[in-house]
Structure 1
Amino acid sequence: MKKTLLFFALLFSGIGFAQSLNDYKYVIVPERFEFLKEANKYNLNSLTKMIFSKPGFETYFSTDKMPDELALDKCKALYADLLNESGILTTGVVLVLKDCDGRVVFKSMKGSSKEKSYQKAYHESLREASASVNLINYKYSGKEIVSSWTKTPAKNVPAAQQAATPITVNNENVLFAQPITNGYQLVDSTPKVILKIFKTSQQDSYTAVSDSKNGVVFKRGNDWIFEYYQNDKLISEKLNIKF
């Protein structure tokens, strides 16, 4: 009877989130949970990554190299966390997934353990909490993620007031365009990949990503321009690209 009640409690804890979870392809796991002082303490971060990989999410640590589409838009991922809900005599944890706006879209049942060894206790409680994840019946829907980061122009505001004033930079280094899937990689004379650009529905307009910058590359007159934000400042960098 106790096992039956637990099954239905777990079922209803996960079922309300199933549709929104299906809209996400990626889960990002931190290297360290806030209630612990060391990265991957008790192997909890690796286990959490494994838990969300099992139903079919593509999972990454926050320090891993991300796929290009995720590097361009962090809102395509959910962000995993492990909450410490331990008591005086028990160790307890709850698994959580949040979107890029910080909204909780999944929260597991609490897993608990009375083991005296911290490692055994955390492993047992995490295994119990993961039962909720096993019930979500995840299947990626491929839907477009919409978040508060998606900007729409303010109504009744002149276009000149909506546009940011960029800081202009002239990059005279020659970059050579090498075709890749859906775009080009721009390399210098070393050769080193400086930037990857990906085609959009607009001619001569690309999304762009490097190791440290995300933005857009487009043609203005006869010039190629790379625009991105750096320290909250809009930078407009003229590129010398050889296709």
Structure 2
Amino acid sequence: MKKLSILTLIICSVIAFGQKVSDYKYVFIPEKFQTFKNSFDLETVLANALKGKKYVILQGDKLKWPSEAMGNSCSIINADVINDKTMLRNRVILEFKDCNGKTVLESKGNSTIKEFEEGFQDALKQALVTVPVSNPVAIVAQKEVETPVNNTVSSTVAVSTESTASKYSNGKLDLQKVQIDNNQFILVKPNSSLPFATFKATTKKDVFRVKLENGDSTIGYFENGNVVIEIPQTNGEYAKEVFTVK
């Protein structure tokens, strides 16, 4: 009876802890798990399993990600598979961490299969049993800022960045400016999964290389607080498109 109570407690703990994972729609999976010299295609096994649980998998070029994910890194949960092998068993630890590096779910799996590829994949499948189906909720974008405490100690706190998102318009088209990092940002249409324009910094301040949604490459720049894009025309000329902040 005591063993049964302990088992029940463990199962309940995993479920209570794992429910937060289901709040997410997007899961980032690295191209290679770092604790494996040969990861035996565990990245693909994990991706396929999570797709089956209705998660959207993010990998590779960030510029190809949905704008919803690019504009809010805290809407993404980060997955990792850690090599926990012993002499007798192939074991893994499946971890999910939020945008602040906090572990949301940790699940262990092990296999008695001695072959590395089959054994590690089997162990991962065991660890995946505790991962719930995606049932996403809205997750507010956050950023890390250093805040002085008692004038002597600094601590990190999360604050909403919704108010810092800038909206621009040329009178016909409304766009939102989303900062990806210090060197690039996008302009995106409401409810669109693809950026209208992607800006990458050049060596000249406030001048950018721009990739438009139709694939055209051009330049853009800031002018009097406005975002300007030189739009290629069919006759080989360029038209100046000015987006002013709303």
Fold match, TM over 0.5?
A: yes
SS of aligned partner of 1:31: coil
> Counterpart of 1:140?
136
Task: Structure 2: give runs of 5+ residues left out of the alignment.
Answer: 150-169, 178-183, 207-219, 229-239
> Could you tell me which amino acid in structure 1 is paired with residue 17 of structure 2?
G
> Counterpart of 1:74?
73
> Counterpart of 1:114?
112
Distance 1:242 1:225, change over 3 A: closer
SS of aligned partner of 2:140: coil
Counterpart Cα distance in 1 of 2:140 and 2:56: 17
Q: How many residues end up aligned between the 2 structures? A: 183
Counterpart Cα distance in 2 of 1:218 and 1:11: 55
> Counterpart of 2:95?
96
SS of aligned partner of 1:59: strand
SS of aligned partner of 1:42: coil
How do residues 41-52 of structure 1 correspond to structure 2 at under 5 angstroms?
Answer: 41-52=39-50
1:188-221 alpha-carbon deviations (Å, 9 max, x no partner): xxxxxx9852369xxxxxx9862646x9x99875
Distance 1:7 1:44, change over 3 A: farther
Distance 1:62 1:98, change over 3 A: farther
TM-superposed CA distance for 1:112, in Å, is: 0.7
- Out of 190, 198, 206, the residue aligned to residue 210 of structure 1 is 198
Counterpart Cα distance in 2 of 1:101 and 1:71: 16
1:79-125 alpha-carbon deviations (Å, 9 max, x no partner): 100011111111101111111211111111x2111222101111111
Counterpart Cα distance in 1 of 2:221 and 2:29: 34
Contact 1:71 1:209 in 2 (8 A): no
Distance 1:219 1:23, change over 3 A: farther
Counterpart Cα distance in 2 of 1:212 and 1:3: 58
Asked if residue 17 in structure 1 is aligned to residue 9 in structure 2, the reply is no
> Could you tell me which amino acid in structure 2 is paired with residue 23 of structure 1?
D
1:49-93 alpha-carbon deviations (Å, 9 max, x no partner): 122222222112244621112223322201100011111111101
Counterpart Cα distance in 1 of 2:118 and 2:196: 46
Counterpart Cα distance in 2 of 1:92 and 1:212: 42
Counterpart Cα distance in 2 of 1:77 and 1:105: 12
Aligned identity (percent) is 21
SS of aligned partner of 2:41: helix
Counterpart Cα distance in 2 of 1:141 and 1:13: 20
Task: Structure 1: give runs of 5+ residues left out of the alignment.
Answer: 156-176, 186-193, 201-206, 227-239
> Could you tell me which amino acid in structure 2 is paired with residue 43 of structure 1?
D
Counterpart Cα distance in 2 of 1:37 and 1:211: 36
> Counterpart of 1:128?
126
> Could you tell me which amino acid in structure 1 is paired with residue 14 of structure 2?
S
TM-superposed CA distance for 1:183, in Å, is: 3.0
Which one scores higher on RCO, CA 8 angstroms, separation ≥ 6?
1
Normalised by the size of structure 1, how large is the TM-score? 0.59
Counterpart Cα distance in 2 of 1:219 and 1:35: 44
> Counterpart of 1:197?
187
Counterpart Cα distance in 1 of 2:60 and 2:4: 36
Contact 1:78 1:100 in 2 (8 A): yes
> Counterpart of 1:30?
30
How do residues 162-241 of structure 1 correspond to structure 2 at under 5 angstroms?
Answer: 183=175, 196-198=186-188, 210=198, 212=200, 224-225=226-227, 241=241
Normalised by the size of structure 2, how large is the TM-score? 0.58
Distance 1:196 1:63, change over 3 A: closer
Counterpart Cα distance in 1 of 2:74 and 2:35: 25
